[in-house]
Every structure is written in C-alpha cells, then in structure tokens.
Amino acid sequence: MRAEATVRPGVPARRARRFRMVLLLWAAVLAASDLVVKAMAEALLSTGATTDLGPINIRLLYNLGVAFSLGADLAPWIVIAATGLIIAALTWYTVSTAPSMTGLSRAGSALLLGGATGNFIDRLDGHGVVDYLHSGWFPTFNLADVFVTTGVALLVMGTILSPRAGTGD
C-alpha cells in the first residue's frame, strides 16, 4: 500500500490539489462572469443611458485608477504592472494556503481572486475598468468590486472563526 504524501498533517496531497484546483476554477468562473456583465453594461449603456433602480443607478463609467480611483493620474502601464504583481502574489498565497484554509476562507479567496482578476483583465486595454453601479453616496463600482469586498470579508471571517491548532479545541 502506497502512503500518500501530505501537505500538512491530515490533508493528503490529492485533496490539497483538489482544494487548489477548485479555488482556481471558481476564481476563473467569477472573473468570466464579471467580464460578461461588464461587456453587457458597455453595450447597453454606451449611449449614456442611465437606469434608476431606487437606491442604485446603472450608468457607465471608466475607472483609470484602482480602488476609489486612486492612481487615476498614473500611466496605465504602471497601474497594470502594480495590480498584476499584487494579483500574482495573491494567487500564490491563496493557492499555497488553500489546503489549510477553512471552507469559508477558501470561498473568500475565490471571490477575492476572481474579482481582482476580472478587474485586471478589464484594465488591460488601457481604458480603465468598467464601472456601472452608482449609489450617489459611494463611488461607482462593479460586480468584481462586490466579489473583492465580499471575498475579503469571508477570508477574514474564516480566519478569525477557524479553530486554533494546538489549543485543544
């Protein structure tokens, strides 16, 4: 009988690979869905149309910067390079730690990575990220931003709520 290699005690290598692949697959699905919604928003709102849905309006804007338009005055290649490096580090971290994460943290990581990747791919044309959700009291945002924000919250909650190793819990 062959003994399976383990990544950490209790997590066989095959299961660790599955955790990693599922996380990356969900991130890719989320990024793709974000890009489809952005393409629809551009197609439907490029004439300047606005749709009022009560507390939120649907209107087309382009964000040349990152969160809250920070860095909008920088050259696009600088924003692309910086966000690309951050996403590469984020991908490495989430993939390498996925087997030891709680399910909640893995879900948060997939959302975070999917949203960040969707915005990164959208940014590559040099025209900025397509934003279309406007509340009037908060900067205009998109589905990827919702993924990133929710992902960070779930990742933090999963980390805080996880049982501590070696505490006897």
Catalytic residues, which ones?
131, 145
Which position has the token pair 């095959």? 14
Distance CA 131, CA 38 (A): 8
Contacts of 162-167 spanning 24+ positions with Cβ under 8 A: 162/101, 162/102, 162/105
Which position has the token pair 């990356």? 24
Q: Which residues pair with 52 in a beta bridge?
A: 57
- The identity of residue 137, as a single letter, is W
Instruction: Supply the DSSP symbol for 138.
Output: S
In which region does residue 26 sit, left (phi positive, over 0), alpha (psi from -120 to 50) or beta (all else)? alpha
